[in-house]
Structure 1
Amino acid sequence: MEQDNGTIQAPGLPPTTCVYREDFKRLLLPPVYSVVLVVGLPLNICVIAQICSSRRTLTRSAVYTLNLALADLLYACSLPLLIYNYARGDHWPFGDLACRLVRFLFYANLHGSILFLTCISFQRYLGICHPLAPWHKRGGRRAAWVVCGAVWLAVTAQCLPTAVFAATGIQRNRTVCYDLSPPILSTRYLPYGMALTVVGFLLPFTALLACYCRMARRLCRQDGPAGPVAQERRSKAARMAVVVAAVFAISFLPFHITKTAYLAVRSTPGVSCPVLETFAAAYKGTRPFASANSVLDPILFYFTQQKFRRQPHELLQKLTAKWQRQRV
């Protein structure tokens, strides 16, 4: 741990002069972000292409999935800057505007993914628990597009302050791009960071859990409709519940727990630099898990959508047959 002794620390305030030794970021983040970029970018492009090619028969869940893939695609496009930044030892040469944009895209993707997954889960809940109710069938795809527009507006409003708080600064004679805010603004960032966690994660997560609890009770009942079609719907709903729960458990939950703890600690007066460094390392070590949702989301799509899952296999069969005919 190093400290910049040229900066005066006001008594009773959290330390703003700690400079962390974070060599692990150089070893961890570039490889993980590279995998997310190489795997997530083509997967999300394939999802978008397949949904757009079937636009005449789109369901509301497919509309939500399309917007989810667009959010993941936007984030994947920002990863080359982060890969370069961390590979160079946390050196940011791209300017203050690019720093703010990259931080905004990360949180917009994170909370957009959470809300779109919640929309998909709620749509599945309606189909399982209220299949004959007319009130949730009104509007069709148009209603789904209206919901998606509202989600994008809500995500932009929630995450726009991240672009205000994020900034570049100088540490160890090099320019860095702060993730949350400069240390001197930590107490100002705390209320916003906590509110973002509650509104952008806890509330959607609670709604999602409520939907899945109701769905689980309905699926376990023996007096429901029988037959292969009903069984397939139950299996599809169960698969989606398991995969979405895995996405939340892997990507979102550890990140928000460590982020909340770090925000609280760095805003507390009298905390030593080694303690701050420990909480910062725990928080930044979970960021790759949050980024992994850009890969997990398209896997969720193919795992739960049998119609689209068959299309790449059929395309591969056609290409293989054509190649074999050309060899004969």
Structure 2
Amino acid sequence: MEWDNNTIQSLSLPPTTCVYREDFKRLLLPPVYSAVLVAGLPLNICVIAQIGMSRRALTRTAVYTLNLALADLLYACSLPLLIYNYAQGDHWPFGDLTCRLVRFLFYANLHGSILFLTCISFQRYLGICHPLAPWHKHGGRRAAWIVCGVVWLVVTAQCLPTAIFAATGIQRNRTVCYDLSPPALATHYLPYGMALTVIGFLLPCAALLACYCRLARRLCRQDGPTGPVAQERRGKAARMAMVVAAVFAISFLPFHITKTAYLAVRSMSGVPCPVLESFAAAYKGTRPFASANSVLDPILFYFTQRKFRRRPQELIQKLTAKWQRQGG
């Protein structure tokens, strides 16, 4: 389904006459997106490379983490276009198709990250609370790859309408790339936007909270195994729970709250432009937080995986020794 210009023009839905003053985007978004690009691109490449070098001993959690890093890497590759766009005062010279692709990549990364983090959390929950469960005991890397394939299909199906609704348009005598949809399609986008929030955020968040509540109760019990291996597993699970909770609280929750409020307000008739502009500014001001998950995800990986934290140091030591031998 595609919206042509005649369809958009014929849908005189509110608030088509509001033109936002969004100078803050030129000051806020290029520096933040540049920081995400500079930090997220090498971090995710390192995660992919290190997991790839360990493919013989690949765990199910590593499979989910690899796919999470791939999603973050794809999004990071689209950031140069957004940085240029906002640095030029919200001017989009790259065409309608590229606009749709960039918006799709943002939401695919967002909801892909949510689902892969949920998979990682569920895997940790099974390992601690149900280590002898048939699926956990017998399901190996192949099962994890199948789950990842299903996740990518679900994310693509969820986010494909964003590429259909997103479009270029003219505002303030320049071409812009609409994030959600053109203003005239606000009421048409609302049901999809709300469904995406419920299915793509609230349901995974509820599942993750349920896992962590059960996990916390199990970790607090004193009748479990007390050996060093068991203590390490408990510590790893606790660290991961804290970092994943921080990622959800920092990246995902503010964005979805402000986005939901903005979707509801902009689909109403008779809303004053200053009120609408305030809700739009709040929503767009939280987009950098959502983008930050591309940096927080690899930090989660290094923080919870001790063997991978040691590996960069070992690699640097090997390279340093090699250079010293060549220099001698």
Which bracket does the TM-score occupy, shorter chain normalised? over 0.9
CA distance in 1, matches of 2:138, 2:64: 16
User: What aligned pairs does 1:216-227 form with structure 2 within 5 A after superposition?
Assistant: 216-227=216-227
CA distance in 2, matches of 1:8, 1:112: 35
Q: Does 1:60 pair with 2:63?
A: no
Instruction: Give the secondary structure class of the aligned counterpart of 1:175.
Output: strand
Q: 1:8 to 1:72 in 2, by over 3 A?
A: closer
CA distance in 2, matches of 1:15, 1:227: 63
User: What aligned pairs does 1:106-185 form with structure 2 within 5 A after superposition?
Assistant: 106-185=106-185
Q: 1:227 to 1:192 in 2, by over 3 A?
A: same
Counterpart contact for 1:26–1:90, Cα < 8 Å: yes
Instruction: Give the secondary structure class of the aligned counterpart of 1:19.
Output: coil
The Cα offsets for residues 9-36 of structure 1, whole Å up to 9 and x where unpaired, read as 96xx532111101000000000110111
Residue 143 of structure 1 aligns with an amino acid whose one-letter code is A
Q: TM-score, normalised by structure 1?
A: 0.95
Q: CA deviation at 1:74?
A: 0.4
Q: 1:9 to 1:114 in 2, by over 3 A?
A: closer
The Cα offsets for residues 40-61 of structure 1, whole Å up to 9 and x where unpaired, read as 0011011011111111110000
Q: CA deviation at 1:326?
A: 4.3
Instruction: Give the secondary structure class of the aligned counterpart of 1:14.
Output: coil
- The number of residues matched between the two structures is 320
The Cα offsets for residues 121-174 of structure 1, whole Å up to 9 and x where unpaired, read as 000000000012233222300000000000000000000000000000000110
Moved more, 302-311 or 118-127: 302-311
Q: CA deviation at 1:327?
A: 4.6
Q: 1:211 to 1:187 in 2, by over 3 A?
A: same
Instruction: Give the secondary structure class of the aligned counterpart of 2:138.
Output: coil
Counterpart contact for 1:100–1:166, Cα < 8 Å: yes
Aligned to 1:3: none
CA distance in 2, matches of 1:222, 1:133: 21
CA distance in 2, matches of 1:96, 1:20: 21
User: What aligned pairs does 1:173-322 form with structure 2 within 5 A after superposition?
Assistant: 173-322=173-322
% identical equivalent positions: 88
Q: CA deviation at 1:248?
A: 0.3
CA distance in 2, matches of 1:41, 1:8: 42
CA distance in 2, matches of 1:141, 1:232: 22
Residue 121 of structure 1 aligns with an amino acid whose one-letter code is S
CA distance in 1, matches of 2:149, 2:322: 42
Residue 209 of structure 2 aligns with an amino acid whose one-letter code is L
CA distance in 2, matches of 1:169, 1:145: 40
CA distance in 2, matches of 1:21, 1:204: 35
Aligned to 2:28: 28
Residue 106 of structure 2 aligns with an amino acid whose one-letter code is F
Moved more, 62-71 or 133-142: 133-142
CA distance in 2, matches of 1:279, 1:237: 38
Instruction: Give the secondary structure class of the aligned counterpart of 1:106.
Output: helix
Q: CA deviation at 1:8?
A: 11
CA distance in 2, matches of 1:153, 1:221: 38
Residue 225 of structure 2 aligns with an amino acid whose one-letter code is P
Counterpart contact for 2:64–2:116, Cα < 8 Å: yes
CA distance in 1, matches of 2:53, 2:327: 30
Aligned to 1:19: 19
CA distance in 2, matches of 1:237, 1:113: 19
CA distance in 2, matches of 1:45, 1:195: 33
Counterpart contact for 1:9–1:17, Cα < 8 Å: no
Counterpart contact for 2:11–2:185, Cα < 8 Å: no
Q: CA deviation at 1:189?
A: 0.1
Q: TM-score, normalised by structure 2?
A: 0.95
**Alignment RMSD:** 1.4
CA distance in 2, matches of 1:98, 1:9: 24
Aligned to 1:4: none
CA distance in 2, matches of 1:8, 1:303: 53
Q: CA deviation at 1:269?
A: 1.1
CA distance in 1, matches of 2:202, 2:135: 27
Unaligned runs of 5+ in 1: 1-6
CA distance in 2, matches of 1:22, 1:137: 53
Aligned to 2:4: none
CA distance in 2, matches of 1:298, 1:139: 25
Aligned to 2:44: 44
